[in-house]
Amino acid sequence: MKRLALYTCILLCLAACKNSGDGQLVGVTNKTKFVSFTPYGMVYIPSGNIVLGVGENDPSVAFPPHNRSVSITAFWMDETEITNNEYRQFVNWVRDSIAHTLLGDAAIQEAEKFGHYQKYKKGERAGEEIEPKLINWKEVIQWNSTNEEVQQALSPLYTQINTRYYHYRPLGINVAKLNYEYWTFDYEAAAVKETGRSPIGGMFSNRPSQVDGNLDRYIKREVVNIYPDTLVWIYEFTYSDNEHMTRNYFSHPQYNHYPVVGVNWLQCQAFCHWRSHQRNVWLVGRGYPVEHDFRLPSEAQWEWAARGGLQGNPYPWGGPYPANQNGCFLANFKPQRGNYMADGALYPAVVASYNPNDFGLFDMSGNVSEWCIDTYNPSAKVFVSDINPIYKYNAAPDDPAGRKMKVVRGGSWKDISKYVTVYTTDYQYQDTCTSYIGFRCMQPAIVNPKEANKSSGSKVYR
C-alpha cells in the first residue's frame, strides 16, 4: 500500500507539471536547455563598481581628467593577449575557405569532393542548386596535389611568377587575397531611426519618426584583409636591424606564443566575428543555443579587468612601483633610461611571462598595448552612461581621420612606466598597424562561474 501511495503521488506531480491544455501559464515547452560553458583560455571578471581615471596618489598628473564612478556587469576575458598561433588559425581558416570556394567553382572531378551543393527538394525549383554553395569543411585541401586542374584552380591564391626570385616564392600564398567577408547589424543606427528618437548627451529627444520597417538598411557588409602587416618591424624603426622580425615573427613556430602585432582595429573586429561564428556553429550543431558574441572590450571593461578589483592602483599588481622589493620588474616595458633588457625582454615577450593580477589576467600592463572597441574622445567620461559605459562611432572609409581614432590601453614593450599604468588612455587610427599593439577578446557572461562547465582549462603553458 505504501508503494502504491508513492506511485500515486509521483503521477500526480507529473500531471501537475505537464501542460495539459487547462489554460495555465507554463511557458514554452521543448526548448533547448541552456548549458553554460567556460570559454577556453578565458577568466571570469565579476561585476563591480570602479572609479575610472587617474589613481588618487599619482603625483605625475597635475590636472587629472574627470573621474567617473561606473558599474560594470560580469564578463569573460582572455587571460592573455591573442597570440601569433591563435591568430594564425584565423588566417588559415580564411585561406582554406577561399581555396574551397575556388575548388568548388572549378568543374573538375577531383575537386568536386571539396564542394557540397544543396538543392531544392520541393516545388518548381526542385533539383536546382541553391546559391551560395555550401562548403564541406571536413575535407582536407590537397595543397600539394599533382592534379594540374586542381593546381590551376588554386593558382590565384599563390604569388605570381613575376613576384618570385630564383623560382622561390617568399610568401607562398598571396596574402593580398586573404580577405574575410562578413555582415554586421548597426543596432545604434536602428535604435535612433526606427524609434524616431536621437541620443543627445546620453538622453533622448523626440523628433519625427522614420519608422518604415526596412531593417535591411542597417546590415553592413565588411571585407577586411586579415593578414598582419609584418613590415611594421622595418618602417617603424629607422636604422634598426629588424628584418628577422619581419620575416619570422608572425610565421615562425618559435614565436607561436608571442602576442600578435601588426593588426589594426578592423582586423581585430573581423577576428572577433570569426571566433563567434566558429563557436556558435559548434554549439548549434550539437543542439545548444548560441552564446554572446566575442568582441573587443570597452575601455571601462578593460580598466576594471586590469585593476583586478583594486581601487586607485596604478598597476595591475597594485603598488605604486613597476618593480618588486627585490628590484625585479613586473612587466615588459622600457625601464630605466632605455635598458630594454632590464625586464627580461627586448621585444614583446611570451605571453604570461609575468605574474597575473588578482583576476588572473596576464600582461595587462606592458608587452603590447591592446585595442578597445571605443572610439577615442577625451570628453567621453563626462557623458557616457554610468552603467557599462561605452562610446562608439562606426567610421566610414571617407570619414575624416579624427573620427577613426580608437582607444588603446595598457602600454607596451617600448613605453616607459608612466604609459603602462591601468588608467593611461592612448589612441591609434583604426586602419593603422604597429609593432606594439595587439588585442584580447571579451565575452559577456550569462551565469556565475560556479555554474559553468569546468572542462575547458587554461591556455597558458607553464
Give residue 138's pLDDT: 61
Phi first, then psi, for residue 134 (nearest 5°) are -85, 135
Q: Which neighbouring-strand residues pair with 203? A: 200
Residue 128, in any domain of the structure: yes
Give residue 25's pLDDT: 86
- Regarding whether 235 and 127 lie in a shared domain, the answer is no
Average pLDDT estimate for 353-382: 95
Which structural domain range is residue 134 located in?
87-178
Give residue 284's pLDDT: 85
- Regarding whether 307 and 346 lie in a shared domain, the answer is yes
- Regarding whether 173 and 69 lie in a shared domain, the answer is no
CA distances from 139 to 1, 89, 103, 115, 383 (A): 62, 17, 12, 9, 52
Residue 106, in any domain of the structure: yes
- Regarding whether 315 and 409 lie in a shared domain, the answer is yes
Give residue 308's pLDDT: 94
Residue bearing the bigger pLDDT, 156 or 265:
265
- Nearest-angstrom CA–CA distance, 36 and 28: 20
- Regarding whether 144 and 230 lie in a shared domain, the answer is no
- Look-up of cell digits 509521483: 10
CB 36 within 8 A of CB 56: no
pLDDT single digits (tens) 212-221:
567 788 888 9
- Regarding whether 92 and 68 lie in a shared domain, the answer is no
Q: Band of the pLDDT at 137, cuts 50, 70, 90?
A: low
- Regarding whether 286 and 435 lie in a shared domain, the answer is yes
pLDDT single digits (tens) 204-249:
444 444 555 677 888 889 999 999 999 999 999 999 999 999 999 9
- Regarding whether 93 and 74 lie in a shared domain, the answer is no
Indicate whether 275 pLDDT > 50: yes
Indicate whether 109 pLDDT > 80: no
Indicate whether 462 pLDDT > 50: no
Those residues with Cβ within 8 angstroms of residue 389's Cβ, 6 or more apart along the chain or in another chain? 52, 68, 70, 298, 299, 300, 380, 381
Closest to 90 (Cα-Cα) out of 449, 439, 453, 455: 439
Number of domains in the chain: 2
Apex CA 81: angle with CA 78 and CA 87, to 5°? Answer: 100
Q: What DSSP line would sit under 157-219, residue for residue?
A: GBPPGGG-BTTB-SSSB-GGG-EEEEEEE-HHHHHHHHHTEEEETTEEEE------S-GGGGE
- Regarding whether 102 and 75 lie in a shared domain, the answer is no
Residue 12, in any domain of the structure: no
296 sits in which H/E element:
none
Provide the CA 5 distance to its chain's centre, in angstroms. Answer: 58
